Amino acid sequence: MAVKEFKRYERKYLITKEQVDMLLERIGDRIVPDSYCKDNNKYHIYNIYFDTENNDIIRHSCEKPYFKEKLRFRAYNNFYETGNAFLEIKRKIGKMVIKRRIDIGIEALNNFIFNGIKPKCKDMQKVNEFAYYLSLYNLKPAVYIAYDRIAYNLIEDPQVRITFDTNIRTRRDRLSFNSGTDGEVLLNENYAVLEIKFPFSTPFWLSKELSSLGIFPHGYSKYGEEYKLTFNKRLLRESV
């Protein structure tokens, strides 16, 4: 059964593919692939983020406030076989991350977003929460972001999760999972976004391994970076 609520800390790093290989070589005997990584292979994540017409949500997020939140529609590998996906709010309070989600299909999502018809769900509290958030800011689909992920759990503490994201693609048109998985490449192919997710703290031995490889925290928001890229392009066009 899919977990519908998360509360944890996340630490991000921007690292080279060489650092990925070296880190996995050092910690390989202390990690196992998570349930999505079948046969130790990467899997795919697809997102559609919601925002206002003026991008108020991501602009606020880029200011690095103490509290911020984003609404997104997220699907995984099996979406094109099952149609299963999630609508979720990701909130960050200080350094703590809280995610709340519900299962929802595309037809139900479109009825919810564009027609105000609430989906049938066992957890109507979350549905009402999402409905309030959508109406409060008049949110609409804003950007598509997809990427490949390899994920691991620590053997000694499965609540500690390590993920590597690559091949990040974005687009601001064709905002549907039924419109292909292509997009503009956001991150150089020689780099990856490393995330370590944990309930309390990163194990000391893991922090030591990261430090020895010159891997230090580096905030990286995929949506934030996409917005900066789009905004800079707009400024460039207007200056010509």
93 contacts: CB under 8 Å, gap ≥ 6: 66, 67
Domain that holds residue 197: 5-239
pLDDT given at position 178: 84
Q: How far is CA 80 from the centre of its chain?
A: 19
| Total-model pTM | 0.91
CA distances for 137 relative to 53, 131, 181, 223, 226, angstroms: 10, 10, 28, 18, 21
3-class secondary-structure state, position 105: coil
The pair of structure tokens assigned to 152 is 């691991």
* pLDDT digit string, tens, across residues 18-77: 999 999 999 999 999 988 887 778 999 999 999 999 999 999 999 999 999 999 999 988
pLDDT under 70: residue ranges of the chain: 1-3, 78, 80-82, 234-240
Check which CATH number belongs to the domain holding 9 and give it: 3.20.100.30
pLDDT given at position 83: 72
Distance of alpha carbon 223 from alpha carbon 225, whole angstroms = 5
How many domains does the chain fold into?
Answer: 1
